[in-house]
Structure 1
Amino acid sequence: MLFGGLSLLEKSGDQILSSTVTSAIASLFKKTENLKINIKAEPIAKLFQGKMDGFEFVGQGMLMYNGLRLEAMDLYLQEVAIDFGSVFQGKVELTESIEAIMRVVLSEDDLTASFNTPFIIEKLQRLTYQGKNLFFQNTNIDINPDRTFNLSSEIRLGKNGEVIPVMIKSEMELQGRTKIQFTNAEYMGDEKSQNLARELINHVNNLLNLENFVLDGTNLTVDKFLVKDKQLVFYGMAQINHFPQNNK
């Protein structure tokens, strides 16, 4: 009876922790298509001390509250320590900072949708041109077979001004582990379109710092990225100082 009761208690602790962590992570996103959590602890009684040997998180189709979407995100951690008492309050509280191996996938559709969200449009509209505010519409990003990117948009100068089409073909590079940059850009169209496109690329490159997009309590660094099958795949590390809060 003693060992049977312990086995039941350990199993319940595992289930409680898995359920709480899954719910806590899901709450950070407006919508998720699939979430899988795998917690490793040997013996499993270590969970009641708030200790885990490993933690694996695999998510697909994750839509953030700011409108940005991730095709997939995987996190792999070792030696995680949490306040197990917080679990019974439906929370996840870390007792020390942790580092996770990270993989993030963005599809071509994700990139296009992101550039048309109010979150990104507001950042784009911080750029002015010839003293006029810019208004963006129908922004689109295509990933080409040669791993270059086509960025196009219709930009209105002022609320009732001229609409200038912008078309850019560019490569993408990683700089300093925290910056993604459009490089070796080719600008299409007439002189007016090309001049505006140059200003836009410079502005976008200033925005593409991972620090502008991380969840609360986290720091991200990218070691490499691949362009394949109409997707961007990033590999890197996530330092998590405290469990992110839901900032809708």
Structure 2
Amino acid sequence: MFGGLTGLTDSKGTDWGERMLNTVASQTIRHLFTQSESVEVFVRCYPSSKLLQGSIDSFKMSGRGLVIRRDFAVEEMSFETDAVAIDFGSVLSGKLTLKQPTQAIAQVILSEAGINQAFNAELVKKRLVNLTVPSLTALSGGKPVSFPEIQVQLLPENRLRILAKADLDNGELVPLNMTVSLAVERRRRVSFQDPQFDLDLVPEAQREISRTLSIALVEILDNMVDLDRFDLDGVKMRLNRLETEGQKLIFSGYAEIERIPNTSQQAKS
């Protein structure tokens, strides 16, 4: 039977075992996402007989139109592993199990629309509403402060425009308008730096408080986008660089894969 797995090829010379692994891996990875437009896996294994020992030279995944945790849209994601050791028996049972950890070069592309959609996610909103930080409540007479509306616009040279409103829980909404620089910190956190405030469109009576609230919002966002909060079980993402390109935000880095999760995982709160 095993000899047949590595001996049968189709008209394109693709080994039956590799095609089966492609199918199993695609199905396994697809289940990591709430939604996916397409997920494809390409296995490289030469000679194909190595597959019986669970040895693969590499495999490459590319996905498009992905949604994580129902609210976090990823326009494109791709990764390519180093050599991989798998349990070939698990493939025969329709699963994909690693014998040892591996690393993959990864790229993730987010759209401006997807980023704005993420601000409506419950995981994000709960960090932006009913805040009782002393520096904020001092501005609102001791009442909680919220940032109910946030919209971003990607700019050239890794900059981001943030348009927001702050609710002081007293019937007053304060408009915020600023730009920040995006950077990678410690390979796992997206840092919001060098805020520049545009107060021309803010009523003069609100400009000082708008500036203060803008500084506070930048600090909140700067501590929010930490990849460790969003790790899948057994998979850690690490960033080397990011860049803005039109209406896209492109992350390049790598993934440390200890095991392949079996089902969609919840992001850490």
Report Cα offsets for 1:195-235 as digits up to 9, x if no partner.
11111110110112221222121222211222212211111
Aligned equivalents of 1:25 and 1:45: distance in 2? 24
2:227/2:237 contact within 8 Å kept: yes
* Equivalent residue letter for 2:59: F
Cα distance, 1:136 vs. partner? 3.6
Aligned equivalents of 2:85 and 2:184: distance in 1? 32
* Alignment pair present for 1:236 and 2:246: no
TM-score normalised per structure 2: 0.83
- How many residues in Structure 1 have an aligned counterpart in Structure 2? 246
Which residue is 1:137 aligned to? 148
Aligned equivalents of 2:243 and 2:167: distance in 1? 34
1:204 counterpart (192, 200, 221): 221
Report Cα offsets for 1:18-64 as digits up to 9, x if no partner.
11110111111111112221001112122222211110111111111
* Alignment pair present for 1:76 and 2:76: no
Aligned equivalents of 1:132 and 1:67: distance in 2? 29
Which residue is 2:236 aligned to? 219
SS at match of 1:202: helix
- The alignment-based identity, stated in percent, is 28
1:66/1:119 contact within 8 Å kept: no
* Equivalent residue letter for 1:237: Y
SS at match of 2:209: helix
2:148/2:165 contact within 8 Å kept: yes
Which residue is 1:167 aligned to? 177
1:53 counterpart (40, 52, 57): 57
2:5/2:16 contact within 8 Å kept: no
Aligned equivalents of 1:137 and 1:40: distance in 2? 48
**1:6–1:23 distance in 2 versus 1, CA, 3 Å:** closer
Which residue is 1:247 aligned to? 265
Aligned equivalents of 1:5 and 1:177: distance in 2? 41
Report Cα offsets for 1:60-104 as digits up to 9, x if no partner.
111112411111111011211111222233322111010101111
* Equivalent residue letter for 2:161: N
- Within a 5 Å distance, the mapping from 1:1-248 to structure 2 comes to 7-8=7-8, 11-125=15-129, 127-128=131-132, 129-130=136-137, 131-145=142-156, 147-158=158-169, 161-187=171-197, 188=199, 189=202, 190-244=207-261, 245-247=263-265
Which runs of 5 or more residues in structure 2 are unaligned?
none
Aligned equivalents of 1:176 and 1:28: distance in 2? 26
TM-score normalised per structure 1: 0.89
Which runs of 5 or more residues in structure 1 are unaligned?
none
What is the Cα-based RMSD across aligned positions, in Å?
2.3
**1:142–1:6 distance in 2 versus 1, CA, 3 Å:** closer
* Equivalent residue letter for 2:56: M
SS at match of 2:216: helix
